Amino acid sequence: NRERARTKLLVDSEIIGISVLNLIGQTIESWKGNFNEREFSIPLRKAPGVYIVSLITTNGFVNKKIIIE
């Protein structure tokens, strides 16, 4: 489904931002705020390919690779 990507959080700290980057490091989308859920979905209307979801937390960054087919 190209309209929403669902992933589970891998951190126990507070998330203060989420960014989606392409493989050369360009920011495609970003959201700021408090994300208190252990699972979230983000709208991704992107071309098929590999992207990096970067979670910005109070303790640093967590990156997760996603593949859109």
pLDDT digits (tens, 9 = 90+) for 11-62: 677 888 889 999 999 999 898 877 766 566 676 667 888 999 898 888 888 8
Question: Could you tell me how many helices (H) and strands (E) the chain has, helices first?
Answer: 0, 6
Residue 37, pLDDT score: 64
Residues 6+ apart with CB under 8 A from 52: 20, 21, 22, 23, 63, 64, 65, 66
Please tell me the distance from the alpha carbon of residue 56 to that of residue 32, in angstroms, as a whole number: 9
Residue 22, pLDDT score: 92
Tokens standing for residue 2: 């190209």
What is the Cα gyration radius of the chain? 11
Q: For residue 57, which amino acid is it?
A: T
